[in-house]
Structures are given as C-alpha cells and as structure tokens.
Structure 1
Amino acid sequence: MVPPPHPLEDEWLWGWDPTPGIVSVWAEPDGRAFIWKRQPGTHARLREDARYRPWVLLASLQDLEHLGDALRPEGLPPVPPVPGAVTYRELEGPGALRFLVSAEDGRALASAVLKGASKRLDQRVGHLRDLGPAAALALPPEEQYLVATGRTYFRDLVFDDLRRLQFDLETTGLDPSRDRIFLVALRDPDGRSETLEVTADGDAGEADLLRRLVARIREADPDVVENHNLHGFDLPFLDQRAKRLNVPLALGRAGLPGLRHRPSARGAALNRGPGGRDADAMRRARYTVPGREFIDTLDAVRRHDFAARDLPGHGLKAVARHLGLSGPDRELIPGARIHEVFLKDPERVRRYAREDVTEAAGLAHLLGGAAFALARMAPRRYERLADAGPATGVLDPLMVRAYVRSGAALPAHESGDGTSHSGAALHLFATGVARHIVKADVASLYPSLMRQYRIGPKRDRLNALLAMVDRLVDQRLDAKARAKKAPPGSAERHTHEAISAAMKILINSAYGYLGAVGLTRFSDVHAANEVTRRGRELLGLMCRELAHRGVTLLEADTDGVYFAVPEAWTETDERRVVSEVAALLPPRVKLEFDGRYAAMLSHEPKNYALQPYAGPLLLRGVAFRSSRAEPYGEDFLRRALQHLLAGDVRAVRDTYVDAVMALRRRQVPTFEVSAQVRLTKSPSQYLATRKQRRELPYEALLTNGREHWSLGERVRIYRATGGRAGLLPEALTEDGEPAPRPAPGEPTGDDARDYDVEYYVRLLKDSFAARLARGLAPEDFATVFADPDQPSLFTPSLADARPVLTVVRAPRGPEFGEDAQVVGAPPFSP
C-alpha cells in the first residue's frame, strides 16, 4: 500500500519553493539577496538579484514601542507611508518567541530593537544575541532568506553537476608572518591539474603569484572551492599573505570585498587582542565569499570516521591511501623539506602538489555526498552544513523553518529542571578471547523507539520532529532502493546513496537532539530518558533471548550485540538465531545480522579487537586506537593481537621479545617512540605553572629553543636519555596536517636515537601489553611479558597456554528477566 502524501511534512523537510539549480546564496542585512543558479545538466549559470525582508523573532514588542506609528501589523500599510516602517506578525500557540518582526533593512531593524532594549534595561545592548535566546532569535541573512522563501540548494542537481575546483598551497614554512607561498597546485572543474609558481624573488614574485591564482579561479568560475584542511591552513595563510602584500582576494562572484569570516567550532584560529600568536583569547572562524562555497574535505573525513571509526588518521595522505585514492607511486616529501626539494628538483614538487589536489577531489566525491544532500533539505548555506553538527547545525534550522512556515510560535531554549539524563544501556558480559563471533545490529534503535512509542519533545506542539523523522525513514528506504537499482558508479547511484547517508545522519541525531538540554531548542530530558528506559528494556529482551538460544554474550549496547556461537554452528545457524530474536521486537525496531568474525578480544566496554575470517584486524575504542599512541607500541599491539586471536601464545611472547630487543639495540627509529600531542596552553599559561608541574610537550619545546607556539599546534615529542624532553621538528606537513608516518625502512633524516630505552620498554609492557591481560591467564601473562634479559630457571612453558574468556556478568536481573540462565564461556579451541 502506497502511503498517502504528506505535503506539510515535506515542506518542513524540503522547503516549498521549486526553484531548481541553486548553487549559492548570499544575502546582505540591507535586504539584498544574490542567488546563483546552474541549469541542471549544463554548465550554464545564472545570477538572480532579489529583495527580501530581514526578520527576527521576538518574545515581546516592548523594545519597539518607541517606533510609534512606524510599527504596524503585517498587511496593514502605514497611513501615511512611514519610511523605515517595521511590521510584525503574531504567531500562534504558547511559544515564547511569538512575534515575527521584519523591515526593509535588517541593520535598521536590529538598531531599533537594541535602542528599545538599551532604554528598558538602562544599559547599552550591543547585539541581538545579548538579549538572550528567550527574548530574540536572529538568523544569519542567508538563513533568513531561505527560511522565508522555502528555497533550498541543489534542487534537481546531482553532485557531479557542481563545478568544483581544488587548490593547495606550497609554502616555505607554516608561519604566514614570515614564510611565503611559492607554488599553488590547482585542479579545475574539468579535472585538469596545473601548478602556478613564483617567477621572481621577494614580495613582488609572491604578490604576482597570488594575483594569478585569483585570476585563474575567477576564470574557471567554480561553484565550490575545496581542499583538505582548507579552513585550517590554506585560506588563513592565503588571507594573511595577501594582506601583507596588499593583494585583493576577489575570489567571489561579486568581486570585492574579499574573504569574510564567520564563527565556527573548527577552522582558522584567529587571535583576539594583543599578543599575536601567543594570545590566550582565541576563536575559530571559517572563510566565506559571495557566490562560491568553500568546502573543507577534512570535515567529511571527520564525519565519516565518527561513524565508521576505521581511518588511520585524518590527514590527506593517510586517508587517501586507506581509501584507495592514491597508488604506490604517490610522491611523498616531508613537509619541512618541500621548499628545499623544490629548489633542487621542482618537477618532483609539482608532481607532489598535483597529486594533493587530485586526492582532495577524490575525497570530496567519495565522502562529500552527505553534506550535498543535507543542503537540499536544510535552510542553511552548503558550506555551513558541511561542518555542522547534525543536531544544532541541521535539525534546529529545520525545526525553525517548520514553525515559521506553520505560523507557530517557537519555544525558547530551556536549561532544564535539574533532571539528569540517564545513560544509554551498555553491558559487558565477558572479557578475553572468544571465537566464532556474530554481530547483530540494531538499526537506529533510539529513533526507532521514538517512532514506535511516539516519544517526542513535550514543547514540540506541531510534532514536527517526529513527523520529519518518520518522513526521513520512509524516504531513506526509497533512496536506498533507488541506489541499488542504479548502475554502479553512476551519478544517479551516487546521488541516492548521498541522500540515504544524509538522512541517516539526521535520523540518528534525533535522540541526541532530545537529550541536549540547553543546547537545542526542543530538548526534553524526560522524553530522552523515556527513550533510554525503553531501550534498556529492549536490549535486555534481546540479550535474554539470545542467551536462551545457546550463545555466549560478549557485549551489548544500543548499536547491537556481539556474541560467540558454538563451534559447530554454520552461518545459516547464526542468521537463524538473529532472525528469531528479531521477530520478537516491536515492528519499527529492526535487528539485523551485521557480520561474523573468526575471533574477538573483549577488553572493556566499547574497546575490542576483531579478526575477520578474511581481511585485516579491526580495532575499536581508545584502548586500541589513539592519536597519541607511540607507533612502535601500536605495531607491537597489532602483531601480538593477531597471534593471540589465532591462539598462538608462544608467538605473542616472541613478538614481545623482538620488540624489547629492538629497543635495547636502538633499532627502532625515534619517530616510532614519539607521540603527537596538541598544545592546549599558551607560553604564558605554561610558564605560570611550570614551577609546580613540568609537562613533557612544553619542556621539549623550551629545551629546543621554541619560546613561542600557538594554541592547538601539534608537536611530536619523546622522552630522551637523562630525563630530557625530545622534540621531532617535522611534526607537520606543509599544510599543517600531521606528518605521514615513514614507511618501514624509509630514511628519516638525522636520527640520534637518543630516546630513553628502558622507559619505552616499561611503556611497552605497562601500557600496550597490558591490553592483552584479559585474554591470558595471570600466570601466562607473567610468563609472556617477562623481561627477556632476566631469564629464570623456573620459567613455565607456554606449550599448552591458550587464550582465556571470563564471564564477568550473567544476563539476569530486572532488565534481562529474573529467570535467565547463566551461560558459561566455552574453552578456547584454535
């Protein structure tokens, strides 16, 4: 049966204006809006100039009473006409923000509100946001325009219809106050790569390069400009160099002004006040221009890794290699040597730079579809949605548009009544090594429970959140079906997969939106706790029913259940058990067979290692994956885990002995024992507390003559002999990314290998080897990790040693059912 149409809910979700092909919107506070459109399937581009009435939502008209006759209800023209008239419309319902006030000029409107507020409060109020979220809601101009018109980006366009350009700077260093841009790699919208280079020394040569870059971008006329770490390095570096050289950066489609800033949680660090690079007060900003969207592929990488947790890092080279976007012949040059190599072998650097922009383009196409699809829904600039959090960055604009479209008053943010948010269910049933593992996945458990039991925010009197989640689920299923029918690799398939991914982001964020007390407009901790309560009940039911069917439970949470099955079971048996339990769940809650693995080390909740029947080892959780972990320890841990999961305890011992002896013979490069850390204290902050507590990262900097550094800067440090703090100088690439790890056997330059050997031997055992402790009997663990240079006459044999599995909790109690049976762990059998 085909469900009936839901035009109102579709307007909430997709907008209502059918204008196709919008690729960028730029609005000014004075009521001017500029809309760039591309005709679907062509390169033809149009610009539309429009007028809109800037608007703001207010809880009261009190601060506008001073306008007198210039303040009129909407639809009643002033008699006689009053220049600069302000109109209002009262929205329906009990919400606090009930007056939609508009004017021809947004600055004049804001000035009028602030004038009245300053008089009422008897103090100067400088900005609408200073009135507080309970008194006023003022959106950025583009969002005012999009909400009011019901327009969205990219109607009738597919991802490949956008003209995209990638550029990447090569610089002599990382400090734009003294370093220069000497080369720019550029990939145009037709896929052609080129390099632009300085042709003269000094300021004149660099300034000429920047002018040619601006001209080339304007000539190519892209809808989107992108790169990896674009907002963290390329744009701020370009901006500062252009200002120093007095080169206008007319990168937009409307000419000057050049780059503008907007606040953001991540991006360029802009210092405020005196102090330069060492200023303590800093904020983050993104760059924006009229008519083009600046997209940073680092945002897509972080969003992907938040869900998948499978990337080796977030740097361009590491991600491109992991995703198969770069080949074995990819040119790699240490960041600190880029300019040096260019002076000797410029073609090598050109090749390196062209590969950078090619990989950035590949990342954008592979991972950027979700943000593209979100822009077809939410009333927000595409570039803002690319780095937005799903709850406040996407759902909030959708909810605001739904209420304004429906003429309903909006509730203000509430801080909550003190009720705490109950945690999600998480059960660890067994630790150690188990074989024949099955993962049963609960698809979007919390949103499914919200739909099943109609649990939504109490203050959402339109039930807009639940209605949109319902429509998202239905339309996501349709998008998935359409993607499967489309030819592999086709633009149609890519578009439908992107829509499905975007909808999944929104669906899964609905519960988080409920529980984000004080952060989201419709947060409701009581509703969130009811979802959590039902989730715990349902998870208990699944665990109880699985245990009754003879499996060994290992771990369960809202994402699913890991369990071990008897050795004689086939995949058919595994799927049958999952299907039987799935049939007992409410209709909108789906339990699916999600995978099977040869073995698993269960370390602690959400921290485990999985060995597939075929393929590489999978590591999950901070115990096994950490950006601060020393590479030598990670390598040891991965090798040791593979042996442990195969049941070969003696091979674990051999791996440990080899690692210890390599350290003591100083065969391990210094890079392998170093750790990358992010600096969170400015020089003044650290020096103020240095006498009470010395910290290795800052001591490494000071010891090596670095008296100045920036907050957020990443450095690679190690513990040197004699308790000294060591610093590796090549911690970053030329664009501020983490330096790629040298390949095994690759020369790493001058390497003193002056690290504290015994410290790193202790660290190997106390930190990395300790993560294997739950997979071994205590006496076997002691034997495996005994010091190889201190042999004992009574060392036990490991010939019969096997990994162990220990039940730490039985599936019983109120949430599992009091009559549940305790299921013991089967012995390990390789």
Structure 2
Amino acid sequence: MAHAREDEWLWGWDPTPGIVSVWAEPDGRAFVWRRLPGSGALVREDVRFRPWLLLASLENLTHLGARLRPEHEGPAPHRVTWQELEGPGALRYVVRADDGRMLATAVLQGAARRLGHPVGNLRELGAHAVLSLPPEEQYLVASGRTYFRDLGFDDLRRMQFDLETTGLEPQHDRIFLVAIRDADGKTDTLEAHGDSDAAEADLLQRLVARVRAIDPDVIENHNLHGFDLPFLAHRARLLGVTLALGRAGTPGLRQRPAARGAAPGRGGPGHDAMRRARYTVPGREFIDTLDAVRRHDFSTRELPGHGLKAVAQHLGLSSPEREHIPGAQVYEVFGSNPERVRRYARDDVTEAAGLARMLGGAAFALARMAPRRYERLADAGPATGVIDPMLVRAYLREGAALPAHEPGDGTPHSGAALHLFATGVARHVVKADVASLYPSLMREYRIGPKRDRLGAMLALVDRLVEQRLAAKARARAAPSGSPERYTNEALSAAMKIVVNSAYGYLGAGGLTRFADVHAANEVTRRGREVLRLICNELARRGVTLLEADTDGVYFSVPDGWGEADERRVVSEVAELLPPKVRLEFDGRYAAMLSHEPKNYALQPYDGALILRGVAFRSSRAEPFGEDFLRRALRCLLAGDIPGVRGAYVETVTALRRRTLPTLSVAAHVRLTKTPEQYLAARRRELPYEAMLASGQKHWASGEQVRVYRAVGGRAALLPEPEAGDNGGDPRDYDAEFYARQLRETFAARLVRALAPEDFAEVFADPEQPSLFAPSLANARPILTVLREPETEGEPPGLSADNFP
C-alpha cells in the first residue's frame, strides 16, 4: 500500500489513457483531447471542474457571509466552499467555486477591504498567503490525471513549420515562405504570391488551413517561441488575419507566462514583458526544440552551439546534401533561385523533427508525471517546474497543509567538492562515475526537507530511482531503434533530471516551498566524505588522481594495466561505499589534458577528441583559434610536440599571409544592448563599435552578428557569407593582433602540458628564429602532480600528501 500511495504522488491516480492536450478555462470548463491507444483515434471530452485556490487564511473571504460555507456542506451556485487541511503548514485552506474568476475577485475584494486600498492581482498578496495555479494545473492536480498514459512518443501527431522572412523586424519585414513537415513526414512549402499585404495575408490563411487539415497534437520548430510564433503573431495582427490554430475556444494565439520567451522587435515598447511570455492555443502543444537542446547541453556540455544547423550536424542529423544559405541572404537568394531556398527550408523542418525525436523524449516523459501541460514542462526548470507541482499534488491528495515559501535563516549554502590533483598530460585515463551522488546520499541517510512532514520528496526520489533502473533495463532489453527502447530511454532520462534536481531544490533558499539549507549542507558534507574516501582508496591502489568532483573521478593508471585492471580497481572501491551510493566504471581514454578544474581534453582510444569547459569550448571563440586548438591537442595528446609547433607555425603564417578567410577570425556574438543603452554606457566594446562603424545606427537586442578587428585597430562587421563564396571577403583583419591572440589566449591553454623551455620554443615567433633554440625531437608532454590540489569545498585532511 505504501508504494501505491507513493505512485499516486509520482504518477497521479486517474488511469485515463491517451491524454495529448488539456485546456481549461477559469469558469470551470476543461477540454481534454485523447488519442485512443491502439487505434490512434482522437476524441475530445468536455468536463467541468471546480477552480480552487490555496489560502493561508479565510480573512479575505469573510465578507461573503453566508455565501462562504464548509466543503462538507456541498457546493451551491454562487457559493465559495472551504476545506481546512491538516498539519502545521501555512497554506491550509482550499477554497473552491464554480467560477475561478469569481473566486479570485472575492479574495481581492476582501483583501482590499481589509487593507484599505485596491488589490489588483492575487500575486500582490504574496506567496505566503495564496497559491494560485493556471486552470489546467488546477484541473490536473485535482483530477489526478496526467498526459500520455499508455502512449509512446511516436504515437502523437507532430508537425513542424518554419518561417522564412525578408528580415528580423515584423513591423516592416514580411513572411514570404513557410516550410511544413506533416505528421507523416512529408515536407512542403507555402509561398506568398507577390510582396503585397494581401499576398502575405493569403499565405498566413493557407498556413492556418494546413495546420487544421493536418490536425497535429504537437507543433514544433527550433526557436519556435523565440522567433516563429512572435513574428507570426505580429504579422497576423498587422494584417488582420485570425490565427485559428487551436482546436477549441476563441480563435487566435494566447499568451502565457514563461521564464524564456522572445518577440521580434525586441527593442520596442513592452520588450521585457514579451520576453517573459510564450504563445499557446487550446488543443495543441507548442514545443520548441531549442529548450531540449539547452537541457541536453546543460548535462553534457558537448554541443558546439545551440543553433539548429550546428546541433543537427553535431548529432549526425544533417544530410550530406543539406542546403546552406546564410540567414541574411535567404530572401535575396529566393529572388534568383527559389528552389534552393525551398530545399533549405525543407531541410530546416526535417532537422527540427530529428532534434525533437532525439532530444525531446525527456519532456514527453515528464508530462507523464507532473500535473502541467506538456509544453510548459518542455521549458520548465526541474525543481520549481517539475518537483514543486508534484509535491503540491501529493499534499493535497493527502489533505495536508502546505508550507509557504520562506526566506532562509542566513545560513550559507556550502558548495560541492571539486579537486584538481594534477595538470598536464596523463596517459591511460579512467573515469569512475559517481551515479547521482547527492540524491543517493539523500536516500541513504534519509536527508530531506525538515518541513516535508509527509516525507514526499524522499518518497518521490526513492520511487524515481527504482523505476529509472527498471526503465533502463527495459530499454537495454528492447531492440535498438524500437519505440519501446526509445520510450524507456526517454523515461530514464526524465527521471534522472528530476532525481538530480532534488538536491538543488533543497538548497534553493526562498525559491522553493521545501527549501532547507541545513539539509542541503548535510548532503554536501556527506558528499565530501564519500569523495574523500573514493580518492583515498583509489590512490592506495596505485593510480594517479587527476580530477574529482560529485560527477566522478578521473585518474591515470600505470603502464601495463589493461581494462580488466581498471574495472577491478573501480569495483573494489565501489564495495567500500554506502549501499545506495554507486561507483561505476564510466570510460577509458588514451590521454587527457588537465588544464583547470572542469576544463580538460580527452582523447579516446578510438574516437573523436572530447573537449570540456569554457577554456576549450566557447560560442564566442574565433574559429581559427578553435581549429588550432583541436589540431594542437591531437598532436599533444599523441606526444607529438613538433606537430604542435607545426600547427602553430601554419596558423601564424596563414594569418600573416591572410590566407585564412575573415570568417575564421570573426567572433559570432549576440548583441545584448540597444543603441541607446550602448551609447549611454560610455564603454567601448568591439561588437557595437563594429555596428556603428558599418553605418548601422539601429539594431535589436538579441541580434547576432560577426565582428572582427581590422587593420589599424578598427572594429569591423562581417556580413554573413554565401556558402563557398569568398569573392567578397575583405581579408583586412589585423593579422598581428590575431597572432598575439593565438599565443596569449589559445596556446596559453597548453602551458601546463609543457616544460617552460619547450613551451617557449613551441610557440616562438616563426619569423624570429633563435640560433640557440633547443630541439623539440625529444620533447614530451609533462604531468605535474600538485603539492596542494586546487580545490573548491575541500574537506579537512584532503591534500596531495594523502596520495602516492
């Protein structure tokens, strides 16, 4: 029975299968669309629910007199009922009514009478006094329903669309083409027949008709909420076109609050409000694959950027025939070669669909658990966006009062342990992974929030870990590429997201309902103890420690050891850990450059170079420097120091002869200031100076540009190049500036891998040879074991003296 209760907290309790979208109105109407498992048929249910609020007190409702009655007396028209929850929580009264607007108005009127001034919104009363959820979440929490029961990811009808526009400003730029990929995978384009308002309006009307004909459950694209939907909404408003994209209710797009959103024309009035809003419609879910990319990269830190084309290429989703056109040139190319633009746009929606399937499974699986709309879970933070709704549901299911958000008592949150034991190049490297260390410690030592009197958080973590292991086992047993494998892998990934965020929830003082910095500090204290034990025991077995943190430990093994020896050592140490803390063999590598904490390069025995940390991966880094680093690192990790020298000399020579295209020295940056903000700051910055020098006096915050330093120290703007076309390349970059940058910025990241005299020789100016330069033939990379390890959150007694 205990597990049944905890499963209700985790999954809800209503077994209704196939929910693909929920829309609820404040007046108590809810519309539920379901795909029937097996047949795939779509059905719609229209149901009633009683909107509710959670209050700390009934004082703002006493003015209702006899219209306020206990819940056990039953509902009645134009009445508000209340139910007192059990326990010491501050939010202890559930109040319900047939109409949510009437309920909110009654609370606001009472608050205004009590306070003596108007109160316009429930938020003004404070989170300590009221909890108000969106209507859909009220419905899902109260009913115990969740999305997608008995459905797989591929059971949903998904559609992708992508806009091609004449520019980035919807106030005066137009939509001239829309690429569409339907639910069966067929791609097509819709185009405006001319450049008039009437032609564009006709295009938007045809887009609406196509959406309604395809009737997707989900509409997707990359940066859908950041560009396509805001641009589409703005143009439709200007042209008087109704965007009837939903399945019910008033036609048109609606807005919802969000942590991340955007609107073209970002510098205009209402800019800040728009950036905190997203669009939504009844009956369909808008999914932005950029959210999935960001969530994935937060965990892996391996993506070269977050743009569609870069990510698709990195993940192997791009076709070899993929059409490339610089964004700024798409409309111009359309005028001379429309078929090329059609191919380009169709490739965009194909790649967006591939990204959605590869990276979107976690959000799909989260929607099976948390009582929120699918589209909201896609961009939700795992702590406040996923765990909190489940805890609210659990407490209300048990009739228990909820604590309100409370500020901390001033106790600082102690950080996680991070140790750098050695720098330079190590060979025969192993990573031992500490699987979900902090959640494991919470489970092992029953460390949970003090105010969680139901123990709901620990119960959720327990069940998630158990069911994640079961999902991983089902995924391994399923055929590769099968829907069963994909669904269970996505479920496992979603559970990992929630489990790993439980500790962050604890430590988020004042931001989460059950925050408890003392419990969080106890978790980190235990974590430091475990990490110290792992390091000590590994060192006792003759390995060289390189880096250790809560994710795992990198170490180098002696020459002559094989994989069996490496696995044996990890297994021996794993046996010494607390039962619920798991140490696993996670990988082996031919070599590693340890540069700084969390900044390193790995060379697998057979595979591509792996770079971690901002020292080796930065979206702002100039391509010539990153290219040099990759070439130099391959040589360095192979022990080929003359090869590192060769890569350096070739790059410096190419810079000075200007055989490198200007694109390779240009930084791709995002403008975060409007012209007015930049000019008011009175601090010179290359990107903005480049915009002004090019004659551009107007730009939008959020616009991305390529800038470089030209001869004479000038700031210059580089237009987006046509693929394969170097005819317009100015090649006027400041070669000596970039040669210095090569040595002082990029080459400097190899300084810990070479003896000082070797570093000086490798990166000596090729045009200033020394008569007494030492030979590099016998030079080798070095590894320096630090006498005092570079640490953060170091526990007492952990130093290099503990290790051989």
Structure-2-length-normalised TM-score: 0.97
Q: Does residue 129 in structure 1 map to residue 130 in structure 2?
A: no
Pairs within 5 Å for 1:501-650: 501-650=493-642
Aligned to 1:734: none
Partner of residue 256 from structure 1, selected from 250, 261, 272: 250
Asked if 1:719 corresponds to 2:709, the answer is yes
* Residues in 2 aligned to 1:655 and 1:162: alpha-carbon distance in whole angstroms: 50
Deviations 1:746-800 (A, max 9, x none): 3345111111111111111111000000001111111111111122222222122
Give the C-alpha shift of residue 681 in structure 1: 2.0
Are 2:681 and 1:703 equivalent residues in the alignment? Answer: no
Distance 1:755 1:122 in 2: 66
Match of 1:103 among 91, 97, 100: 97
> Is 1:45 equivalent to 2:45 in the alignment?
no
Q: Give the TM-score normalised by the residue count of structure 1.
A: 0.94
1:66 matched to which residue of 2? Answer: 63
- Closer, same or farther in 2 for the Cα pair 1:314/1:154, shift >3 Å? same
2:784 paired with 1:787: no
Tell me the SS of whatever aligns to 1:50. Answer: strand
Q: Is the 8 A contact 1:270 1:283 kept in 2?
A: no
**Does residue 1:808 correspond to 2:786, yes or no?**
yes
Q: Which amino acid aligns with 1:645?
A: L
Deviations 1:73-120 (A, max 9, x none): 102148xx6x41111100111100001111111111111111111222
CA distance in 1, matches of 2:681, 2:788: 48
Where 1:461 maps in the other structure, the secondary structure is: coil
Matched with 1:470 is: 462
Residue 755 in structure 1 maps to residue 733 in structure 2:
yes
Separation in 2, partners of 1:280, 1:52:
34
Q: Is the Cα contact below 8 Å between 2:265 and 2:700 reproduced in 1?
A: no
Task: Give the structure 2 partner of residue 291 of structure 1.
Answer: 283
Aligned-partner Cα distance in 2 for 1:121–1:787: 75
What's the counterpart of residue 150 of structure 1? 144
Matched with 2:11 is 14
Distance of aligned partners of 1:105 and 1:282 in 2 relative to their CA distance in 1, 3 Å threshold: closer
**Residues of 2 paired with 1:41 and 1:683: CA distance?**
57
Question: How far did 1:44 drift?
Answer: 1.1
**CA-to-aligned-CA distance 1:288-332 (integer Å, 9 cap, x gap):** 000000001111111111111221211111111111112211111
Given residue 228 of structure 1, which amino acid in structure 2 is its aligned partner? H
Aligned equivalents of 2:740, 2:274: Cα separation in 1: 39
Q: Which residue of 2 aligns with 1:774?
A: 752
- Aligned residue number for residue 416 of structure 2: 424
Moved more, 550-559 or 277-286: 277-286
**Quick one: distance in 1 between partners of 2:49 and 2:790?**
62
C-alpha separation in 1, matches of 2:269 and 2:61: 43
Separation in structure 2 between the aligned mates of residue 777 and residue 525 of structure 1, nearest angstrom: 45
Amino acid at match of 2:753: G
Equivalent residues in 2 for 1:168-187 (5 A)?
168-187=162-181
Distance 1:820 1:285, change over 3 A: closer
Decide whether the 8 Å contact of 1:70 with 1:86 is kept in 2.
yes
Q: Which moved more, 1:475-484 or 1:812-821?
A: 812-821
Q: Decide which of 386, 411, 415 is 2:407's aligned counterpart.
A: 415
In the alignment, is the contact (CA less than 8 A) between 2:227 and 2:264 conserved in 1?
no
> Any idea what SS the aligned residue of 1:265 has?
coil
What residue number does 2:182 align with? 188
* Shift in CA distance, 210/448, structure 1 to aligned 2, threshold 3 Å: same
The verdict on how the C-alpha distance between 1:518 and 1:5 changes in structure 2, with shifts beyond 3 A counting, is: closer
1:334 to partner: Cα distance: 1.4
Change (3 A) 1:778 1:220: same
Distance 1:94 1:377, change over 3 A: same
CA contact (8 A) 1:271 1:281 kept: no
Instruction: Give the structure 2 partner of residue 367 of structure 1.
Output: 359
CA distance in 1 between counterparts of 2:118 and 2:527 reads 49
Higher mean displacement: 375-384 or 327-336: 327-336
- Contact conserved, 1:278 with 1:682, CA < 8 A, in 2? no
What percent identity do the matched residue pairs reach?
Answer: 75
Report if the CA contact (8 A) 2:609-2:634 is conserved.
yes
Aligned residue identity for 1:755: Y
**3-state SS in 1 of match to 2:767:** coil
Give the 5 Å matches for 1:818-829: 823=803
Partner of 1:799: 777
| Alpha-carbon RMSD | 1.9
1:436-461 Cα offsets, whole Å, 9 max, x none, are 00000000000000000000000000
CA distance in 1, matches of 2:85, 2:471: 35
Q: Secondary structure at the match of 1:87?
A: strand
Deviation at 1:820, TM superposition (A): 8.4
- Map Cα deviations across residues 333-392 of structure 1 (whole Å, 9 max, x no partner): 111221222222222211121111111111111111111110000000000001111111
Q: CA deviation at 1:198?
A: 1.3
TM-aligned CA deviation for residue 200 of structure 1 = 3.2
Question: Residues 436-451 of structure 1 correspond to what in structure 2 (within 5 A)?
Answer: 436-451=428-443
Deviation at 1:261, TM superposition (A): 1.1
Letter in 1 for 2:360: G
Query: What code does the residue aligned with 1:424 have?
Result: A
The alpha carbon displacement at 1:242 in A equals 0.8
Gaps of 5+ in 2: none
Aligned residue for 1:795, secondary structure, equals: coil
Matches of 1:269 and 1:207, distance apart in 2:
20
In structure 1, the partner of 2:232 is 238
CA distance in 2, matches of 1:809, 1:131: 56
Q: Of the candidates 376, 380, 389, which is equivalent to residue 368 of structure 2? A: 376
Paired position in structure 2 for 1:354: 346
2:446 aligned partner: 454
* Structure 1 position 187, deviation (Å): 0.9
Number of residue pairs aligned between Structure 1 and Structure 2: 802
Deviation of 1:492 after TM superposition, in Å, equals 1.4
The corresponding residue for 2:217 is 223
Query: What secondary structure is seen at the aligned counterpart in 1 of 2:61?
Result: helix
Query: In the superposition, relative to structure 1, how do residues 66 and 39 fare at CA in structure 2: closer, same or farther (>3 Å)?
Result: same
Residue 680 of structure 1, CA deviation: 2.2
Structure 1 unaligned spans of 5+:
732-741, 825-830
Q: Does 1:209 align with 2:199?
A: no
Instruction: Map residues 31-42 of structure 1 onto 2, 5 A cutoff.
Output: 31-42=28-39
* 3-state SS, counterpart of residue 715 of structure 1: strand
Q: 1:204-254 CA deviation, whole Å, 9 max, x = no partner? A: 111111101100100111000001111111111111111111110000001
Cα distance in 1, alignment partners of residues 624 and 755 from structure 2: 25
Q: 1:494 to 1:32 in 2, by over 3 A?
A: same
Partner Cα distance (2:802, 2:125) in 1: 59
